[in-house]
Amino acid sequence: MAEAERIKCLIIGSGPAGYTAAIYAARAGLEPVLYTGQEPGGQLMITTDVENYPGYPDGVQGPEMMEDFRKQAERFGTKVRMELIDKVDFSGPVHRAWTEGGQEIHSDSIIISTGASAKWLGLESEQRLQNKGVSACAVCDGFFFRGQEVAVVGGGDTAAEEATYLAKMCPKVHMLVRRDQMRASHIMQERVEKTENIQVHWNTEALEVLGDKEVTGVRVINNKTQEESELAVSGFFVAIGHKPNTDIFKDWLELDETGYIISIPGTAKTRIKGVFVSGDAQDKVYRQAVTAAGTGCMAALDAERYLTEEGII
């Protein structure tokens, strides 16, 4: 096995947070090395039209935007490696990480930008019609369904929030809740109840998203009566939560009950000196490309200050 590589700044993950961190870190002379992970570009690689990111007046395709981010990071000297980091050790002053292929890396600072993945129902039709009417983000994609009927799957706070958001622009929102009550907080349930154009379908599960090239409806079943029916909708929003990609850090960093890394408020710092976190690995509230990019900038600036204070740069 090759001897360990020694670097100043390792960035783990390659969405808007990781690439923005790389841009700032490279410009600050940290000579960052970025490992893309299994999903280079993150969730935006499965997003078609992005119309809410500043600087793209005509919108942009998600993969195209991530390509722009990568090129900009590389322009300033970031080394981008298409490989996965699958093990870390934060026990010493120099942080250690290992690639999937077994290469050991010693880094003075680490920026975690591993993101989070949306949870899906596991339907074949759901995957086939992704970005053709199936979405996991109402704030990202709701605009495209203005004036159309849509369905939201889920019974928690996220689903309630997505349904009320969509209700402002859609004539009717069908909310599919698989139990006879919601898991959402009392205040969110009240908002759903007070929104006249949200129809809650209790004890209801989606069996199939209908449509060929775009969503035309959803086939559902009432799990109490076993009665099947179809709802004519143009948009199908899955709001059953996200899973942060943070498993490899659980033995070293403080995570909340759902696996998001806890940072020191107002910073990108974790409880381990020299380890920083950005993007959806720590943000379960906003989960937008622009906020992820902002925290990527914070992480790089925090890393630069740390390395300066330690006399490393």
Question: 59-105 pLDDT, tens per residue?
Answer: 999 999 999 999 999 999 999 999 999 999 999 989 999 999 999 99
Residues 96-107: tens digit of each pLDDT: 999 999 999 999
Residues 188 and 260 in one domain: no
Q: Which is catalytic among the residues 49, 68, 108, 141?
A: 141
Residues 107 and 65 in one domain: yes
Quote the pLDDT of residue 39: 81
* 101 CB-contact burial (10 Å; exposed 0-12 / middle 13-18 / buried 19+): exposed
Cα(217)–Cα(176) distance, integer angstroms: 13
Residue at which a domain ends, from 183, 209, 238: 238
Does residue 140 have an active-site annotation? yes
First to last CA, the chain: 29
Residues 106 and 193 in one domain: no
Domain that holds residue 19: 5-117+242-309
User: Are 116 and 287 contacting, i.e. CB atoms less than 8 angstroms apart?
Assistant: yes
Does residue 137 have an active-site annotation? yes
Task: Residue 300: name the closest of 1, 6, 10 by CA.
Answer: 10
Q: Which is catalytic among the residues 9, 108, 137, 280?
A: 137
Overall average pLDDT of the 261-290 stretch: 96
Residue 40: band (very low, low, confident or very high) from pLDDT cuts 50, 70, 90:
confident
Q: Which is catalytic among the residues 9, 108, 140, 302?
A: 140
Residues 199 and 249 in one domain: no
Residue 48: band (very low, low, confident or very high) from pLDDT cuts 50, 70, 90:
confident
Quote the pLDDT of residue 181: 95
- DSSP state letters, 120-133: ----HHHHHTBTTT
Residues 28 and 92 in one domain: yes
Residues 111 and 136 in one domain: no
Task: Residue 288: name the closest of 81, 134, 62, 120 by CA.
Answer: 62
Calculate what percentage of the chain has a pLDDT beyond 90.
90
Pairing of strands 204-210, 217-222: antiparallel
Residues 273 and 249 in one domain: yes
Residue 1: band (very low, low, confident or very high) from pLDDT cuts 50, 70, 90:
low
